[in-house]
């Protein structure tokens, strides 16, 4: 989701070398469970292109997008909720949502039980998606969240993230750093009950045993965000 000009993966080895050369005790120590404040601030700034009005507190650094998806499912979903995938989910997406007790709906319709709608990877955005979600919220009388799950940057996806308030981003740092498993969840400050959801994400992560992502890689990634 962060544009290539904002995250320079080609600098990662250089950043790691610099960190190790100037090593101090913090490099291999614990960070806050939610991630380094400076990294969260850099991510918040990078995501302002979507008008999320983000504060660093709205971002939770994760051990990759799979961890982020699992944490969000635990934080948001309850037994009987429906998760609608606009396109067929992969196994990791399906399992994370089903494990939280949610029913999985593919290519279906929004119902009174819909709690989360998922756009992922290179999924094309259906025309009028934001309007459909707002209409369903009004009809059914409850909030519906839109999850941008590892979306590729495109004008249509960026437009719906600007247009719809209750958006959540689950992202990692791409195939080049897949083995390092650093990602983040970002909750738009425009989202319904944003502060409550952020607190639930923090609680769900701790309950699942996530202490913090690797400290060294957090610092290296921060150094590569322009």
Query: What pLDDT tens digit does each residue of the chain (226 aa) get?
Result: 566 557 888 899 999 999 999 878 788 889 999 999 999 999 998 888 777 778 899 999 999 999 999 999 999 999 999 999 988 888 999 999 999 999 999 877 899 999 999 998 777 888 899 999 999 999 999 999 999 998 877 888 888 988 999 999 999 987 778 888 899 999 999 999 999 999 999 999 999 988 889 999 999 999 998 6
Q: Are strands 183-187 and 145-149 parallel, antiparallel or unpaired?
A: unpaired
Residues 26, 38 contacting (CB under 8 angstroms): no
How many whole angstroms separate alpha carbon 196 and alpha carbon 205? 14
Q: Are strands 59-62 and 183-187 parallel, antiparallel or unpaired?
A: antiparallel
Residues 70, 99 contacting (CB under 8 angstroms): yes
Region of 31 please: left (phi>0), alpha (psi -120 to 50) or beta.
beta
Q: Model's pTM, two decimal places?
A: 0.92
Residues 204, 96 contacting (CB under 8 angstroms): no
- Answer whether CATH 3.20.20.10 is correct for domain 9-22+38-223: no
Q: If you write DSSP's letter for every residue of 3-66 in order, what string do you get? A: -TTTB-GGGHHHHHHHHHHT--TTTTS---TT--HHHHHHHHHHGGGGT----GGGEEEESSHH
- Beta partners for residue 170, in sequence order: 149, 185
CA-wise closest residue to 100 among 126, 73, 120, 80: 73
Position 147 scores a pLDDT of 96
- Beta partners for residue 225, in sequence order: 7
Q: Which residue has the tokens 């292109």?
A: 49
Q: Where are the domains of the chain?
A: 9-22+38-223
CA-wise closest residue to 43 among 187, 146, 162: 187
């Amino acid at each position: 989701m962060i544009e290539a000009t904002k995250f320079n993966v080609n600098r990662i080895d250089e950043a790691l070398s610099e960190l190790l050369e100037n090593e101090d005790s913090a490099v291999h120590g614990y960070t806050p469970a939610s991630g380094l404040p400076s990294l969260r601030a850099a991510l918040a700034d990078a995501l302002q292109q979507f008008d999320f009005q983000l504060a660093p507190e709205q971002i939770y650094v994760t051990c990759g997008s799979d961890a982020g998806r699992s944490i969000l499912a635990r934080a948001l979903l309850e037994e009987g909720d429906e998760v609608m995938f606009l396109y067929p989910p992969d196994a990791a997406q399906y399992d994370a949502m089903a494990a939280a007790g949610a029913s999985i709906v593919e290519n279906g319709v929004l119902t009174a039980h819909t709690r989360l709608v998922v756009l992922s990877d290179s999924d094309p955005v259906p025309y009028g998606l934001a309007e459909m979600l707002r209409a369903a919220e009004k009809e059914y009388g409850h909030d519906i969240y839109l999850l941008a799950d590892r979306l590729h940057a495109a004008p249509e996806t960026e437009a719906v993230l600007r247009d719809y308030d209750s958006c959540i981003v689950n992202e990692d740092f791409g195939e080049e750093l897949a083995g390092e498993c650093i990602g983040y969840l970002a909750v738009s400050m425009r989202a319904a009950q944003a502060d409550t959801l952020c607190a639930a994400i923090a609680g769900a992560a701790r309950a699942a045993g996530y202490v913090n992502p690797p400290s060294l890689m957090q610092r290296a990634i921060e150094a590569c965000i322009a």
